[in-house]
Amino acid sequence: MGKKLYHGAAYYPELWDSVVIDQDLQLMKETGINIIRMGEFAWSTLEPEEGKIDVSFFAELINKFYENGIETVMCTPTPTPPIWMTHGFPERLFVDMAGRRMGHGSRQHICSNNQYFRERAAIIAEKLAKGLGSLPGLIGWQLDNEFKAHVNECTCATCKELWHKWLREKYRTIGSLNNEWKIGAGQPAYRSFEEVPVPENTASFRSLPLRMAYRQFSMEKIAEFADEQAEVIRQYSKAPITHNSSIGFHVDNERLFKNLDFASFDTYATIEHAGAYLINCDIWRNLKKDKGFWIMETSPSFSASLEGTATPHPNGYLKAEAAAAYALGSEAFCYWLWRQQRTGCEQPHGSVISAWGKPAIGYENVLEVERMREALEPILLSSQSCQAEVALVYSDHAKAYFQNGPFKKLNYRGFITEFYQQILSNGIHRDVIQPGADLEGYKLLFTPYLPSLPEDAAERARQFAEKGGIWITGPLTGDGGTAIPEDDDELVLEQKYGEGKIVQLHFIPRSEEEKKRLEKIIDQYANEAGVDLRMDISPGTIAIPRKAEGNQIWVMVNMDGNGGEIDLPFKGYDLISECAVPCGKTEIGKFEYKVLQSFESHSPAVS
């Protein structure tokens, strides 16, 4: 990986005959698809009867596509266990917090902590890795599919037993659990770990520490399952391993990607939520800092299911999305899905081609992405993502706290994305980092909406300020989110700390006026901290700096379809049109992209 920019699609050859597969191969070549992802739902095809596993269908396909210039990411098929796994074995099924047992017929209906499931999952992963792992066309692995997208915490008998074991390892004594959970106020203390329930329906308020601990238990267990699968694959294959996650799922992405080789995510944000799209790119780039991330799934036009349909992208937006992703460090931009399904709950979903092999809605936009990819590829492959000077902390634990705790009615994702937008609209290049991330190289740090800021993260932030950084914390951070003063003078509290500063924000920017205020505060402290990686741009357009040989390039993308304006601080050179660009105001068209560098540092070798 890393020698090309990938443009791909999810492909389900197990649903089609060989005539259709040959047609797909031809159409993919014409469209410019150079990577396919296969296999995540194919367990029943691979192992129709228990123990009868045959991976040759996929081996032949991987080879055939490779000979035609198309590489493969292969998946472990564990989100859809075959019927023989659960029929007659209700104890293997997932049980939700209301006590409802899932049934076969969809996805994620099995308990991923079930011992028998784990054994069969390891066996199928091993067979795939042995059979496909050294094929030249196989360039990566995806584990499972969208962990915990459709379900959250399982409460089956297996999980209950593992929960008690987990609690014992974490707290050692039941006294320390009672103490830490502050049990006694309205609840009798537990006398043993076996008495601690799984979160179920309760008559009144649920215990927040119990809910938070159970979420953490569940997030650790699913990451352990990923580790287990990765370990099996690594015995037989050198291809790097990922998982397609999202900030919407019930996982701790920081922990999940810890032992994986590269980070990838799925996104179906519409143009109104371009900020949500961009924050994903900034999060996933920083989950594996020295590696490119992947957009494993996005729609060529619109997402849909039998439940409803999202608004299709306006023409041109797909190209803007893809240009932004590649410039922000994505190695791949992949669609879900290549060929529309003939049946099933996702039959209405946007695809590159229709079930009968004709261009679907958005096909012209996919061709536009391919032309852009070809133009940007040499420039992006000879440059790298820059570390930002500004970091914003995103936390899946904070998200869990918001979902379970006193802020239940507040939406963490919405709040953090809104905060992010104010950094974005200042034209500032930013990293979105995890609570455990290193703060080396940053000048300005934001930690909003972290009610349970971990002590080690707080300590790192204090040291960051002590050494001269500006740490802006809040609202709702560190104090369980209690104090929101009414007095206007106390909404922003600044104190010197070592060589730097700690600034506390005590207002939630919800009204337009409050959002403007936050935008100004960010601007003021970015100036004070000496943030250089920023560009004066009109709203709706973004500027992405990249490090090239001996100089810097800026990729500009208009995301809102209204066109925009950049106030260029240098006399520039446009690497795409190969023209000089004057210093000062320059325009960018509707969904257009440009790559600019300063005229002085322009080296003919790059163009």
Binding site for Zn ion (CB under 5 A): 111, 113, 154, 156, 158-159
**111 carries a ligand binding annotation:** yes
Query: What would the two tokens of residue 277 be?
Result: 């799209």
CA distances 40 to 9, 144, 390, 540, Å, are 13, 6, 37, 36
Q: Which helix (H) or strand (E) holds 126?
A: helix 115-132
The residue from 71, 146, 389, 418 that is catalytic is: 146
Is 440 among the catalytic positions?
no
- For Zn ion, the closer of residues 41 and 214 by Cβ is 214
How open is the CA angle 389-391-392, to the nearest 5 degrees?
155
224 φ, ψ (degrees, to nearest 5):
-65, -40
Coil, strand or helix: which one is 556? strand
The residue whose two tokens read 């002085």 is: 600
Spatial separation of the C-alpha atoms in residues 121 and 112, rounded to whole Å? 9
The residue from 47, 71, 126, 297 that is catalytic is: 297
- For Zn ion, the closer of residues 108 and 298 by Cβ is 108
With contact defined as beta carbons under 8 Å apart, do 281 and 330 qualify?
yes
**334 carries a ligand binding annotation:** no
Q: Respond yes or no on whether the N-terminal peptide bond of residue 337 is cis (omega within 30° of 0).
A: yes
Q: What is the DSSP letter of 206?
A: P
Query: Which residue, among 509, 478, 337, has the nearest Cα to 414 in the 3D structure?
Result: 509
Query: Which residue, among 559, 564, 562, has the nearest Cα to 586 in the 3D structure?
Result: 564
* Distance of closest approach, residue 156 Cβ to Zn ion, in angstroms: 3
- For Zn ion, the closer of residues 92 and 501 by Cβ is 92
Tell how strand 293-298 and strand 264-266 pair up: parallel
- For Zn ion, the closer of residues 161 and 231 by Cβ is 161
- For Zn ion, the closer of residues 79 and 475 by Cβ is 79
Over its C-alpha atoms, the chain yields an Rg (Å, rounded) of 25
**75 carries a ligand binding annotation:** no
* Distance of closest approach, residue 100 Cβ to Zn ion, in angstroms: 13
* Distance of closest approach, residue 158 Cβ to Zn ion, in angstroms: 5
- For Zn ion, the closer of residues 223 and 476 by Cβ is 223
Spatial separation of the C-alpha atoms in residues 153 and 251, rounded to whole Å? 10
* Distance of closest approach, residue 225 Cβ to Zn ion, in angstroms: 12
* Distance of closest approach, residue 313 Cβ to Zn ion, in angstroms: 39
Coil, strand or helix: which one is 238? coil
Is 91 among the catalytic positions?
no
Q: What is the DSSP letter of 249?
A: S
* Distance of closest approach, residue 113 Cβ to Zn ion, in angstroms: 5
Query: What would the two tokens of residue 339 be?
Result: 């060929």
**551 carries a ligand binding annotation:** no
Active centre residues (catalytic): 146, 297
Binding residues: 107, 111, 145, 154, 156, 159
Binding residues for Zn(2+): 111, 154, 156, 159
